[in-house]
């Protein structure tokens, strides 16, 4: 999605306009096709943690449920904007890291605790909501854009190396190439159609068909899965770890910055006001949904940039369309066959699609920071945060092993180090130091001009 902070767009279908049931279903399904994180993130976590396909399938169901619940809340009574939620890279990284160190039960239990904390900070009752008032600290393009670049660079180590799989390397690599080429072709020639918006999904489908013909796929688990089941409470067990809670709090902070950026765009396009109270309502709904999702075992979500792009291109900004998308996501989350089918897709094909997705995340950050005026102060903020954050990936293992778990969980994650550094440095340099320097420059007397005659 291109950065459109400086653009103004008049929606052809306004935020409060209602369409027919058929139109709502059609446009709502179009939004769901862009939610690639639902298809990719749970599978990548399962591959990394060596989870059984039934566990991965359930996690996919839980992600659909989380997505649907928050989308209905946001499009309905809470935010009242055409926002579609989806699993975000911040929670993907946090759950992947926590799951590897303390298990999924403690990862999701700690996410639920962190969600409750953020719900209390955003409680939409008069002046009690605090998150809306700290928006200026977390939403500037230099903070959010640089963070997306850091996340994309961190995730680069996940996709490409899994193209080859553990066996039958030749067909795995060729299927990965077919997937990537299909995605790229759809993105380049798809224009403003559903071909481009669902490019990653079409690439996965084509890659899977290719792999089924020339390789070996096994969808037998799909036939044995049931057609309907309700979610379980804490299906992976329950545990709470203070270091992991801190990890999840930082992920919620990143998601907050992303969400407020999307709210700003949508209210501008719909010619509506974005007050602190409305921000608090939106974030409270988001945190409530993410907390429920964590209880069910699903990844936390945030406002999906791809869906904002669909609104921008199509001009259809009706919140009843996105509410329909949320209802469809809830229905899919109640069908185990859907989750098991996605969990059975070839690993190399999903890894190839994730490579493109992670690249899009990074370049979206580049687009955002292109609007920043790169003077010395901004270079200090972004440059120091970027290089130090990525440098944490190369800290010696013997050093990090000696650190307390609370510190170890943060300093080994570039995304989390980036959140702390970017918010801290931007606050100090741009909000405190810059105004002081500008006032000092205004007070300094100008030196008298020296003419050529005076010199001679």
Q: Model confidence at 286, in pLDDT bands (50, 70, 90)? A: confident
Among residues 355, 342, 357, 365, the alpha carbon closest in space to that of 414 is found at: 365
Please give the Cα distance from 54 to 377 (Å, whole number): 51
Host H or E run for residue 309 = helix 305-314
Confidence (pLDDT) at 2: 40
Query: Which residues, at least 6 apart from 357, have a Cβ–Cβ distance to it below 8 Å?
Result: 36, 37, 40, 200
Predicted pLDDT of residue 7:
47
Angle at which helices 141-159 and 414-426 cross, to 10°: 170
Residue 449 reports pLDDT greater than 60: no
pLDDT at 366 over 80: yes
Quickly list H helices, 270-304: 276-296
Mean pLDDT for 50-70 is: 89
Lowest mean per-residue pLDDT among 9-23, 85-99, 267-281, 439-453: 439-453
Read off the pLDDT band of 238 (50, 70, 90).
very high
Given phi > 0 = left and psi -120 to 50 = alpha, else beta, which region is 80? left
Strands annotated E in 80-238: 85-87
pLDDT average, residue stretch 334-339: 90
- What pLDDT shows up at residue 128? 60
Of 195-204, 371-380, 442-451, give the range with the top mean pLDDT: 371-380
pLDDT of residue 388 exceeding 90: yes
Q: What is the mean pLDDT of the chain?
A: 82
The two most distant CA atoms of the chain are separated, in Å, by 97
Task: Convert the pLDDT of each residue in 124-164 to its tens digit.
Answer: 776 666 665 666 676 788 887 888 888 888 777 776 776 77
Give dist(CA 189, CA 10) in Å, integer.
26
Lowest mean pLDDT among 1-5, 108-112, 137-141, 256-260: 1-5
Q: Could you tell me the pLDDT band of residue 303, with boundaries at 50, 70 and 90?
A: confident
pLDDT band at residue 40 under the 50/70/90 scheme: confident
Do 361 and 148 form a contact (C-beta atoms < 8 A)?
yes
In percent, the amount of the chain with pLDDT more than 70 equals 89
Indicate the helix (H) or strand (E) that contains 301: strand 301-303
Looking at residue 327, its pLDDT comes to 93
How large is the average pLDDT for residues 20-39?
82
pLDDT average, residue stretch 84-108 = 86
CA gap 50, 45 in Å, rounded: 8
Segment of 149-163, 270-284, 316-330, 400-414 carrying the highest mean pLDDT: 316-330
Distance, in Å, from the CA atom of 130 to the CA atom of 135, rounded to the nearest integer, reads 9
The structure tokens listed for 331 are 């229905």
Residue of 58 and 360 predicted with greater confidence: 58
Strands (DSSP E) found in 101-156? none
The stretch 401-421 carries a mean pLDDT of 78
pLDDT score at 5: 43
* Three-class SS state of 102: helix
Per the structure block, which two tokens stand in for 184?
């790229």
Give bridge partners of residue 87 from the DSSP assignment.
Answer: 301
Cα angle for residues 93, 331, 43 (degrees, 5° grid): 30
């Amino acid at each position: 999605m291109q950065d459109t902070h400086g653009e103004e767009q008049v929606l052809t279908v306004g935020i409060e306009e209602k369409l027919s049931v058929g139109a709502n279903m059609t446009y709502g399904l179009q939004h769901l096709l862009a939610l690639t994180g639902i298809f990719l993130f749970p599978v990548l976590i399962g591959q990394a943690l060596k989870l059984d396909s039934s566990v991965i399938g359930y996690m996919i169901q839980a992600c659909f449920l989380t997505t649907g619940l928050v989308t209905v809340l946001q499009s309905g009574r809470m935010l009242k904007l055409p926002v579609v939620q989806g699993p975000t890279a911040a929670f993907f990284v946090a759950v992947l890291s926590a799951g590897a160190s303390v298990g999924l039960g403690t990862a999701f239990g700690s996410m639920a605790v962190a969600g409750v904390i953020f719900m209390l900070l955003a409680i939409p009752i008069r002046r009690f909501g605090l998150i809306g008032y700290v928006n200026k600290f977390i939403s500037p393009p230099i903070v959010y854009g640089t963070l997306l670049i850091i996340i994309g660079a961190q995730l680069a180590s996940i996709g490409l190396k899994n193209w080859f799989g553990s066996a039958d390397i030749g067909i795995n690599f060729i299927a990965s190439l077919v997937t990537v080429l299909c995605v790229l072709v759809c993105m380049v020639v798809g224009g403003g159609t559903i071909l481009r918006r669902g490019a990653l999904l079409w690439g996965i489908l084509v890659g899977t068909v290719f792999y089924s013909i020339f390789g070996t796929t096994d969808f037998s688990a799909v036939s044995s899965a049931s057609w309907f089941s309700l979610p379980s409470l804490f299906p992976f067990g329950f545990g709470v770890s203070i270091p992991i809670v801190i990890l999840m709090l930082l992920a919620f902070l990143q998601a907050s910055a992303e969400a407020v950026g999307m709210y700003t765009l949508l209210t501008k396009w719909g010619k509506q006001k974005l007050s602190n109270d409305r921000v608090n309502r939106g974030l409270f709904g988001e945190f409530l949904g993410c907390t429920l999702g964590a209880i069910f075992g699903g990844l936390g979500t945030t406002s999906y940039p791809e869906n904002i792009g669909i609104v921008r291109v199509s001009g259809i900004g009706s919140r009843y369309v996105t509410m329909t998308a949320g209802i469809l996501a809830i229905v899919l989350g109640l069908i185990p066959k859907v989750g098991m089918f996605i969990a059975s897709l070839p690993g190399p094909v999903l890894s190839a699609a994730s490579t493109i997705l992670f690249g899009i995340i990074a370049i979206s950050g580049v687009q955002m920071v292109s609007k920043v005026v790169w003077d010395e102060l901004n270079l200090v903020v972004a440059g120091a945060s970027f290089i130090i954050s990525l440098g944490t990936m190369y800290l010696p293992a013997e050093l990090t092993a000696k650190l307390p778990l609370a510190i170890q969980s943060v300093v080994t994650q570039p995304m989390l180090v980036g959140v702390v550094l970017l918010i801290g440095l931007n606050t100090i340099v741009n909000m405190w130091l810059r105004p002081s320097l500008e006032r000092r420059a205004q007070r300094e007397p100008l030196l008298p001009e020296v003419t050529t005659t005076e010199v001679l």
